[in-house]
Amino acid sequence: MLKPAGSTCNLACEYCYYLQKKELYNESRQQFLSDALLEKFTEEYIASQTSQEVLFTWHGGEPTLRNLQFYKKAIEYQNKYARGKMIDNCIQTNASLLTDEWCAFFKKNNWLVGVSIDGPEHVHDYYRHGIHGEPTFQKVISGIELLNKHRVQWNAMATINNYNANYPTEFYHFFKEIKCNYIQFTPVVERLSTDEGNMLSANNNEKPNELAPFSVKPQQWGDFLCALFDLWIKEDVGQVFIQLFDATLANWMGVTPGLCSIDVRCGHAGVMEFNGVIYSCDHYVFPEYKLGNIYEKSIVEMMYGQRQLDFGRAKQETLPEQCNSCEFLFACNGECPKNRFIETSNGDKRMNYLCEGYKKFFHHVSPYMDFMKKELMNQRAPSNVMNELERIKRENI
């Protein structure tokens, strides 16, 4: 994951975990990744990949704050150093700055665009504002219209927070209305550090950290997931793809889920900042999780070195007793370590804050997942679950 404009952004979403990262680099006026670093990274990154397919993920801050010239250069370097490998690009954007030119570029170069949108207008605008507090929904919709006009492949990335978690039905119907058939979402769970002003905090369980008010509550999260699942399972299996549901089915099948939060290990979500500093994960851009600088160490040393391996394994090795004895460990894997800060009855402070919600969800989907697994094992379509719905519901009661 690359941060070509650092944490710089044209918006100011209230829950954003990345905006405050500019404070890590106070000395830098403009957080723009230089041309020389772009070339160096491209060459090393492609060479460090063992597979034939190489993916570049452009992230931020807001990556469209860099101009098209920058991304044309990026493609030039990718072609120069590809050495027969297949290169793909995806970009995560707030979509408010998209133009015909941007969309023509995405189409021409086959980029996948992730659009951040939290649901219908009142839901989206609740936390996603401009820097003067102005709403952003209409701009995002215009961006989506442009993407559609140019037939660019895009998908939605939503956050689930304490507000929109209350509207699962509106949320689902909205994405169907805008014909978005691939929906990704992530729960907002942030803590405010008590001793460093308002900096969103690293997962230091020794210090008391206050939960940020926009965080989704565990019960809300569980209810949201169950309600969304019920809407999807009724008529859209095989038509609408919801990343968490697909990933859950993958875990039920015993295959890699493709979603780090419920995978066994971490370690594949490294980030390079605008100045060449690499961190273990986009959600761990804190000084303690700095792996080094690309000018001092190689990508291989940093991303495949002992520190990153330890970071990856810690997810499993530091599970609290409750997780290790949980019937849904295979599906949940204790979820993201960032969210593990609840104290258990035996004094362990590493319980996942969202556990209650996940347990409710896994219980709820269990019979459907069992059925879909059986269908897949017999080379039949998991969407057959829609015909079996009534029987499963009866058995479930």
Q: Which residues bind ligand SAM (CB under 6 A)?
A: 9, 15-18, 59-60, 62, 92-94, 116, 157, 159, 186, 188, 190
Based on the residue annotation, tell me whether 125 is a catalytic residue of this protein.
no
Buried b (16+ CB within 10 A) or exposed e, 95-123: bbebeeebbebbbeeebbbbbbbbbbeeb
Write out the binding residues for ligand SF4, residues 20-59 only, by CB under 6 A: none
Cα gap 77→59, rounded to integer Å = 18
Cα gap 5→65, rounded to integer Å = 7
Q: Select from ligand SF4, ligand SAM, none the partner in contact with residue 157, using the beta carbon and a kind-dependent cut-off of 5 to 8 Å.
A: ligand SAM
User: Which residue lies nearer to ligand SAM by CB, 61 or 222?
Assistant: 61
Sole window of 5-13, 107-115, 208-216, 375-383 interacting with ligand SF4 (rule: CB under 6 A): 5-13
Identity at 53, one-letter amino acid code: E
> Are residues 349 and 342 in contact, defined by beta-carbon separation less than 8 angstroms?
yes
Task: Tell me the residue number closest to ligand SAM, measured at CB.
Answer: 116
Write out the binding residues for ligand SF4, residues 157-196 only, by CB under 6 A: none
Write out the binding residues for ligand SF4, residues 243-272 only, by CB under 6 A: 260-261, 266, 269
Q: Select from ligand SAM, ligand SF4, none the partner in contact with residue 186, using the beta carbon and a kind-dependent cut-off of 5 to 8 Å.
A: ligand SAM
Q: Which two tokens stand for residue 129?
A: 């504002």
Is residue 13 part of the contact set for ligand SF4 (CB under 6 A)? Answer: yes
Write out the binding residues for ligand SF4, residues 113-142 only, by CB under 6 A: 116
Burial class of residue 126 in the structure, from the number of CB atoms within 10 Å of its CB (0-12 exposed, 13-18 middle, 19+ buried): buried
Q: Select from ligand SF4, ligand SAM, none the partner in contact with residue 261, using the beta carbon and a kind-dependent cut-off of 5 to 8 Å.
A: ligand SF4
Question: In the set 6, 42, 54, 60, which binds ligand SF4 (CB under 6 A)?
Answer: 60
Instruction: Tell me the number of residues near ligand SF4 by CB under 6 A.
Output: 35
For residue 198, count other CB atoms closer than 10 A to its CB.
10
362: nearest Cα among 328, 396, 391: 328
Q: Select from ligand SAM, ligand SF4, none the partner in contact with residue 160, using the beta carbon and a kind-dependent cut-off of 5 to 8 Å.
A: none
Is residue 338 part of the contact set for ligand SF4 (CB under 6 A)? Answer: yes
Cα gap 154→129, rounded to integer Å = 22
Q: CA gyration radius for the chain?
A: 21
Question: In the set 334, 368, 371, 382, which binds ligand SF4 (CB under 6 A)?
Answer: 334
Q: Select from ligand SF4, ligand SAM, none the partner in contact with residue 322, using the beta carbon and a kind-dependent cut-off of 5 to 8 Å.
A: ligand SF4
Catalytic residue among 88, 246, 282, 348: 282
CB of 390 to ligand SF4, least distance (A): 28
Q: In what order do the strands lie in the sheet with 154-160?
A: 53-58, 86-93, 112-116, 154-160, 182-187, 241-242
**CA 23 remoteness from chain centre:** 23
* ω into 61 cis (within 30 of 0): yes
User: Which residue lies nearer to ligand SAM by CB, 9 or 372?
Assistant: 9
Question: In the set 32, 58, 175, 358, which binds ligand SF4 (CB under 6 A)?
Answer: 358
Residue with token string 């952004």: 9
Is residue 329 part of the contact set for ligand SF4 (CB under 6 A)? Answer: yes
Q: Select from ligand SAM, ligand SF4, none the partner in contact with residue 42, using the beta carbon and a kind-dependent cut-off of 5 to 8 Å.
A: none
Helices (H), 82-155: 100-109, 121-127, 137-149
User: Which residue lies nearer to ligand SF4 by CB, 351 or 385?
Assistant: 351
Burial class of residue 13 in the structure, from the number of CB atoms within 10 Å of its CB (0-12 exposed, 13-18 middle, 19+ buried): buried
> Are residues 173 and 228 in contact, defined by beta-carbon separation less than 8 angstroms?
no
CB of 93 to ligand SF4, least distance (A): 8
DSSP 203-220: --TTS-EEEPTTSPPHHH
Q: Select from ligand SF4, ligand SAM, none the partner in contact with residue 373, using the beta carbon and a kind-dependent cut-off of 5 to 8 Å.
A: none
Catalytic annotation, residues: 282
- Give the binding site for ligand SF4 (CB under 6 A): 9, 11-13, 16, 18-19, 60-62, 94, 116, 260-261, 266, 269, 281, 283-284, 315, 322-323, 326, 328-329, 332, 334-338, 352, 355, 358-359
